[in-house]
Structure 1
Amino acid sequence: WYEPDFDNGQRGMRWFSATVAPIPGQQQFAYTVMDITEQRQQAESLQAAQAELLTSTTQLDEHRQEMIKLAELNDFLQASRTQDDAVDAITELVSPLFADCSGAIYVLNETGNLEAITHWGEHFNSKLLFAPTDSWAIRRGRIHWVDADHPRLLSDHIERNAETIEALSVPMMAHGKLQGLLYLTSPTPGLINEDKRNFAQTVAEQLGVSLANVGLRTDLKADPVHDLLTGLFNRRYFEEALEREVYGAARQTRNLGVVLVDIDHFRQYNNTFGHDSGDIVLKTLGGFVRRTLHSNDIAARYGGEEIALLVPDLSRDEVLLRAEQLLGGVRHLHFEGTEQTLDPITVSIGVAIFPENGMDWEALVQSAEMALSRAKVEGRDRIATVQG
């Protein structure tokens, strides 16, 4: 028999090893019993240490991968020549940094609201456009973190539903000015942990500085092809591009649409609200048009209050549908940046299609101008074509 010694006060489960062997020449057996509790404990401690080391190694590897991806994002942002370049880089490279979460990157648009330039994840639960005052993070000027214990502190731009367990908002600042907002959310408790929150803050700081620097480079760069007020291409660039596109469309038997957009009664608007307000209208309209463009479209400020769009590879009905979307969208534009309340605007739109309305670029523009004149004569705030 074996009686453990518990005089040391360490009571609890103990482990033993028993060996049974026959005694030669005798019908008896020898029993050997060893207390292996200490060896067992040492083995378990070693296993725990190995598991902890593996976890630490995995975390270090994940952190290293995050830093590699962040460095890649930074390289693209530093090489960006325009805001559009920066937006493309952010769209492609930010979501993989937070692939296990849902989220979005917001930037300040021309009207001073926060607009999502990219969002991802099946649990995304925020508006794509909202006022800065709808965000606790923006109002407080600091990172805002909400978990399941504080649901009432969710910002107004977040949809309240049962899936919203954690939400993180980080302002993107540079030189003391707001550039945008990084937003993350997850229905899984603990997923947006302290390490992820710290990493999100690092990403937001880098995005804010990069966006500000891209904007500064764009402002300082002499741009021979863009209109500074609207951000659209200028007339010369548009006509050169249209000439090339008509030549290519003729060779490849493709359709091509030209859409001319003119602000209704703009001179009267300027006389009523002032030229500064007129500039705000043009800038806002230019921003709206840019946001509606497809990848191959070209938009330009063609005259004082006239904007031209080149829309390739669409049928006549598809070009008219795009024009209808522009017409309706303009009616709902809001203008900010002035102390007075500005009236909404409407536009008249003329549409011409290659090749049926002109066989060269000049004839095509002339047809679009004729259609635009017809829209004005028929009462404005409408679309017209050469045929009717």
Structure 2
Amino acid sequence: MPTTTARTAPARALAAGHRRRAFALLAGVHLLAVAGAWLIWLIGLAPVFDERRWIPNVAVIGYGVVVVLGLMFRYGFWTPQGSGYGEDYGQVGGWWWGGLLGWWRWLLQLLLIGGIVAAGVVIGTNGRWWHLFGTAEIDAMPALVARLPIPADWEETSRTVGDDRDSRVPNQRYSLDYVVPADYTLSDLEAWLRSAEWTAPGDGSAAFGALRSVTCTTTTERCEAQVTPPAGRPVEYTLDTSLWASDGGATTRVSVDLRYLQATPVEREVSDAVVARASSVPVPPDWIEVDSQDRVAEDGQSLERTYVVPAPLSLAGLRAYLASPAWTAPGASGTAFGAVEVQDCRTDRTGGATELTCWAGVTSSLGEDGFFTELIEVDHDPAALTVEVEYRDAPR
């Protein structure tokens, strides 16, 4: 049953005639409780919880149960006319102001429950700040999708919007499926990605933008491309397209995935000296970097960069690259990488796939024992038009 004595701060303030203070105290307690649930969300964004998502999930559930029940039994609940539990503000501060404060308590408790439940949903779905507030790039994605130069004889059958919830940076993905002519091939898909339609305005709208690094793989019937970024900016938009059949092969389809992934500085395991040295490895200007990986092992440190090249290379072409004057010419840093000596080149054929590989040693690293402590390995996949250039620091 409701009590008639003022035992909490809001009720005492109301009894003393401090009405605004009573409303403010009640609001402050409940809003702070909601903020506590969102503080758990912020703490749960720390990298240490990436593989332990259950911890913030359990924490917010336990917090919600304890805080909601605790505040209700502390400050009372429901209406001030005695149909709930706790203080009857109508008896403490009069029918009018006491009644208003009682309904204010009830509204704040609804806000309390809703705020904690909302925080729990965001935590449970691994929501990040950009899911709540968005970014300029994410907000612009619908307009960018609308500018895709989709051929007139393609029929859209589905469209989904999602993202990578495990990513720690803003990202979004639009996945679109189309029914295409039955005789459509991977070559047609590649030709579409390399066409001028991407830079041609259509139907009074702006052009989508140029593509680069178009690579297609026959084994997976897939083509990938980068959306060319402004000069000096990293790649943040990519296209992943695939050709497939449905209805027992009777229907030919194309899937188009447009993805935005905010570029962030790459965290390396190798030393800064290895990164600087590998960054000075010369590559032709028409080779476009699409990936990089570093490795620390017992035999040293290495940094490998993957490039898309405009045309297939031969073993002679790889040898010519390693023997080019670019290795001894000053680069962007003002210093030359240094001459290299080709040690071996070979062609590997496995399961119908061909890979060309050349190894070279950095001349200045040749020791008295006849071994190089700095090595260059170049791997080329002529079908995918990719070249991997690895710099390895292997002190003896």
With structure 1 as the length reference, what TM-score do the two structures score?
0.23
Answer 1 or 2: higher relative contact order, Cα 8 Å, separation at least 6.
1
With structure 2 as the length reference, what TM-score do the two structures score?
0.23
Higher helix residue share: 1
